[in-house]
Amino acid sequence: MSACRLEELGLVTALGSSARANLERLIAGDQSRFGVTRDHVSGVERPFGAVHEPLPEISSRLARYDCRNNRLALAAVSQIRDAIEAEIERSGAQRIALVIGSSTAGVQAAERAFEVRREHGALPDCFDLVQLEFGGPAEFLREELGIEGPCLGLSTACSTGAKALLSARRLLELGICDAVVAGAVDSQCRLTANGFEELQALAPTLTNPMSRNRAGLTLGEGAALFLLTRDPGGVQLLGGGESSDAHHISAPEPSGSGAIRCLRAALADAGLEPSDIDYVNLHGTGTLQNDAMESRAIASVFGLDTPCSSTKPLVGHLLGASGAVEAGFCWLLASAPFQLPLPPHRFDGERDPELEPISLVRAGQVATRRDGSRLCTTSFGFGGSNCALVIGAGAA
């Protein structure tokens, strides 16, 4: 498939509610933005990567969509709204598409609505079923932005955000539209947190990927939305690969075979060799099974010298939004002038000797720029839904 341009990025995470804030804290390896909550798992304290800044209000015209998930989406899209409106002016609203992913959608709003019904006998007037639907964020943004082209909702667990970008690229390549607003958003809820707690996958302290002491993942929330076009130059989505393990409902295939297939497919799609990649953003959840599988896959495809790091110790695991957010991090890095700054791999420093000794980024480490930067980001979801993206800027 052909490359497409990632024109603009709207990004909201625990690191901040602007691209600049995210980049500065990303490179610094800032873990100070995590908080601790008892709200998600009753009576149990767990760290959580919450968005700190106030979120924009949803207009009364679209009140039926009003939930935290859609407010996160609005905060992200507001950062690129001028570019979207310029594209609508250039191409027409019918030629702009939306591909928006989510894993939890508005489950948090539904939880609160059912609490009200339990106490008062009826659901609150402010709750609407569309808040709960996976397609709700896409419908909300379609009405908010006045876009009239194809409008798609996507939910494939933790690969959702990455797959949304590949779906957007397909729409452009097929000529169905001239631009796409694509990405993903997720807010947290008790349903998800308690599910991970029951799977013994939720860490009691901050996630510790690739450590011998790792004990699970830390949840977070946020949104990343891109404007994609067929224009040349800038930062490009150069390639992508997908695979399905079909191994287990929640565990990855232990040898990493599915991850290896999607990584090799992404490189082939981009027309690149493993040695062309400057940095790999790991899925890096900090669970026993993911880190074992992923380190094998990275070593098999890239060897032991390509710089790698997980950014989940900085923002948490954003579930369906994680692939889009981590693609956003790669976009920020590729957009940086001069040297290619790398996010440090934050953990306790006690590497698990049973894992492949891949090259984890140290604090302050940079990559030498050649005539362009090439970065890869991985997303491995429940059910073995795997996706890898290659993002780059400059000449090949």
Burial 123-147 (b: 16+ CB within 10 A, else e): eeeebbebbbbbbbbbbbbbebbeb
Amino acid identity at 147? I
Contact (CB, 8 A) for 148 and 80? no
Please tell me the distance from the alpha carbon of residue 116 to that of residue 137, in angstroms, as a whole number.
23
Contact (CB, 8 A) for 333 and 393? no
Burial 55-86 (b: 16+ CB within 10 A, else e): beebeeeeebbbbbbbbbbbbbbbbbbebbee
Please tell me the distance from the alpha carbon of residue 187 to that of residue 212, in angstroms, as a whole number.
30
The 8-class DSSP code of residue 16 comes to B
Q: What share of the chain is helix, strand, coil (3-state, %, to 5)?
A: 35, 25, 40
> Residue 170: exposed, middle, or buried by beta-carbon count in 10 A (0-12, 13-18, 19+)?
middle
Please tell me the distance from the alpha carbon of residue 157 to that of residue 186, in angstroms, as a whole number.
11
Half-sphere exposure of 57 (CA within 13 A, CB side): 4
Please tell me the distance from the alpha carbon of residue 303 to that of residue 297, in angstroms, as a whole number.
9
Q: Is the dihedral of CA 336, 81, 59, 110 positive or negative?
A: negative
Determine phi and psi for 345, rounding to 5 degrees: -85, 105
Determine phi and psi for 29, rounding to 5 degrees: 65, 40
Contacts for 244 with CB less than 8 Å, ≥ 6 apart: 258, 383, 384, 385, 386
Of 201, 227, 214, 209, nearest to 331 by C-alpha is 227
Active-site amino acid positions: 158, 283, 317
Nearest-Å Rg of the Cα atoms of the chain is 20
